[in-house]
Amino acid sequence: MPVDAKHLAARRELAQGISAVERPGPAANQRIQDALAASAADARNALVVGLTGAPGAGKSSLAAALADVARAGGRRVAILAIDPSSHESGGALLGDRVRIDEHPDDDGRFTRSIATRGSGRSLAHVAAAATILVEAAGFDLIFVETVGAGQAEIGIARLADVLLVVEGPEGGDEVQAMKAGILEVADIVAVNKSDRPGAQAAFDRLRTGLALGAGAPELVLVSATVGAGISELLATIDEVGAGRGVRGRIRRVEAHLVAAAESHVDAQVREATASGALTTRAEQIVAGEQPLTGSITALFGISESPDA
């Protein structure tokens, strides 16, 4: 059966909207504001689930498995898959669709691959804005999957209503589990690949490590490939995300504002690096010709706190 061109029109509009907000400026801001207004008018409160974890832990497969279960339950589901851009070339290889089955004639699904571009962080600057647009397009459940720095990745925690950290059978020794970082802000930790040896042991190690802290996240054992524990995980996600109301959308706008500020600073840093101003200033500081205080303002246009 050929794809219905009319069906694809809505997806095309959303897809082009995401491309448009990837180029920051007044036009992008207008789009984001229109989307927020549309969601508010329709009283939409999409549930945004962040997935993060080490490369190879199975984030894409798990997002796809969760999406299948949710879609079978009648929910409209989107996946935003974020992968890093090369610092050298600015290009990116976005391969998450390999693990996500295509459903060309199902308008209740949407998948988009996003490169981090200049962000130098594991979350793309556009992630929050894209999520706002996807919500306005009528998707109830949005998975944002981001490259696993594994630790110290809090951008996704700021954006998501529910943060799911994915671990493989090899991951998560007790000391790692006690370390500050992503596990501290995780709502749920899923040990994936329960069909493989070592998964139960990883689960036990994590349980021991996490139990020592206050406010320990939910811990679940799943297998995306054989489909074990997926419905239960989705139920846990819904429980954690329940009662968010408009708070979720406020959170997305906060994340967008922080991303916009970071984007601005990143651009200033790139410019100061490329122009040589950064090196020149550093040389002057080393030679005692310029004070350290005031240098950040001079280079990047950021005001320094008077106490600094």
Partner 1 sequence: MAERTSPIRVLIAKPGLDGHDRGAKVLARGLRDEGFEVIYTGLRRTVDAIVAAAIEEDVDVVGCSILSGAHATLLPKLVSSLRASGASDVLVVAGGIIPEADRPELEQAGISGIFGPGTTIAEVATFLRANARRR
Q: Quick one: 98 or 308, whose CB is closer to partner 1?
A: 98
State both tokens at 270: 């790139």
Question: Residue 252: helix, strand or coil by DSSP?
Answer: helix
Q: Which stretch binds partner 1 (CB under 8 A): 95-103, 139-147, 264-272, 293-301?
A: 95-103
Interface with partner 1, residue 307, by CB under 8 A: no
Interface with partner 1, residue 270, by CB under 8 A: no
| Binding residue count for partner 1, defined by CB under 8 A | 36
Interface with partner 1, residue 59, by CB under 8 A: no
Q: Quick one: 104 or 213, whose CB is closer to partner 1?
A: 104
Backbone angles phi, psi at 292, to 5 degrees: -65, -45
Q: Quick one: 43 or 87, whose CB is closer to partner 1?
A: 87
Interface with partner 1, residue 12, by CB under 8 A: yes
Q: Which stretch binds partner 1 (CB under 8 A): 90-98, 196-204, 211-219, 273-281?
A: 90-98
Interface with partner 1, residue 85, by CB under 8 A: yes
CB of 83 vs partner 1, minimal distance in Å: 9
Q: Quick one: 74 or 91, whose CB is closer to partner 1?
A: 91
* Residue 135 contacts residue 35 (beta carbons within 8 Å): yes
State both tokens at 58: 């199975």
Interface with partner 1, residue 110, by CB under 8 A: yes
Going by C-alpha positions, the residue among 106, 1, 127, 117 that lies closest to residue 52 is 127
CB of 289 vs partner 1, minimal distance in Å: 37
Interface with partner 1, residue 28, by CB under 8 A: no
* Residue 59 contacts residue 145 (beta carbons within 8 Å): yes
* CB-facing half-sphere around the CA of 226: CA atoms within 13 A: 10
* Residue 125 contacts residue 155 (beta carbons within 8 Å): no
Q: Quick one: 20 or 253, whose CB is closer to partner 1?
A: 20
Residue in 31, 44, 59, 112 binding partner 1, rule: CB under 8 A: 112
CB of 217 vs partner 1, minimal distance in Å: 32
Name every residue whose Cβ is closer than 8 Å to that of residue 265 and which is 6 or more positions away in sequence. 300, 302
Please name the amino acid found at residue 38.
A
Q: How far apart are alpha carbons 22 and 110 in whole angstroms?
A: 18
Q: How far apart are alpha carbons 132 and 36 in whole angstroms?
A: 7
CB of 110 vs partner 1, minimal distance in Å: 6
Residue in 26, 41, 43, 102 binding partner 1, rule: CB under 8 A: 102
DSSP 254-301: HHHHHHHHHHHHHHHHHHHHHHSHHHHHHHHHHTTSS-STTHHHHHH-
Q: How far apart are alpha carbons 130 and 144 in whole angstroms?
A: 10
Interface with partner 1, residue 97, by CB under 8 A: yes
Q: Residue numbers of the site for partner 1 (CB under 8 A)?
A: 1-3, 5, 8-9, 11-12, 15-16, 18-19, 22-23, 85-86, 88-95, 97-98, 102-105, 110-113, 115, 117
